[in-house]
Amino acid sequence: MKKFIVLVALILCATTSGFSQGFKAGLNLGIPVGDASDFSNLQFGADVAYLFAVADSFSVGPMLGYSNFFPEDSDNFDNIQFLPIAASGRLGVGDAFFLGADLGYAVGIDDGNDGGFYYRPQVGYDFGLIGLIASYSGVSRNGGSISSVNLGIEFGL
């Protein structure tokens, strides 16, 4: 079932991005916090999204990402990987600043990872084709969460 959900999400994002002008692709690095800091010291993420303008300064659309938490001790812990599938929203504040949020489900990729509710509030500055984003991302699962504080770059294609 996980593979089917991932396949459908990839097809939707690929189809959407081919016909759109609001396509975004981003990369980020993060510092794990909370429960995640007990076993991980670095998070890497990548995502793609297509944002539809709903109003002058507000846009929404689908987002598909990848997130990997690297273990501090690779002998005792494996990487924890997620494929977030979410709705993304952005609100322009002023000329170049924006507030945003991604909400959805993060599919667990590695063995024994069931995934969970995905959330990512963010603030950013748009330089034109490139944006700088600070965010907090988390996956709530089984009474706990795996979270990180991130800094990333986003490209408008």
Q: Give the pLDDT band of residue 1 (cuts 50, 70, 90).
A: low
Q: Give the pLDDT band of residue 8 (cuts 50, 70, 90).
A: very low
Distance CA 1, CA 75 (A): 30
Distance CA 74, CA 57 (A): 45
Distance CA 139, CA 108 (A): 10
Q: Give the pLDDT band of residue 95 (cuts 50, 70, 90).
A: confident
Distance CA 68, CA 57 (A): 32
Distance CA 133, CA 72 (A): 25
Residue 122 in tokens: 């963010």
State yes or no: pLDDT of 88 exceeds 90.
Answer: yes
CA proximity to 126, closest of 154, 89, 84: 154
Greater confidence (95 vs 48) lies with 48
Q: Give the pLDDT band of residue 144 (cuts 50, 70, 90).
A: confident
3-state secondary structure of 100: strand
* pLDDT > 70 in the chain, percent: 87
DSSP H helix total and E strand total for the chain: 1, 9
State yes or no: pLDDT of 102 exceeds 50.
Answer: yes
Q: Give the pLDDT band of residue 35 (cuts 50, 70, 90).
A: confident
Q: Give the pLDDT band of residue 137 (cuts 50, 70, 90).
A: very high
One-letter amino acid of 55: A
Mean pLDDT of 128-148: 93
Mean pLDDT score across all residues of the chain: 87
- List the domains of the chain with CATH numbers: 2-156 (2.40.160.20)
State yes or no: pLDDT of 14 exceeds 50.
Answer: no
Mean pLDDT of 37-50: 95
3-state secondary structure of 73: coil
Distance CA 155, CA 130 (A): 5
* pLDDT > 90 in the chain, percent: 67
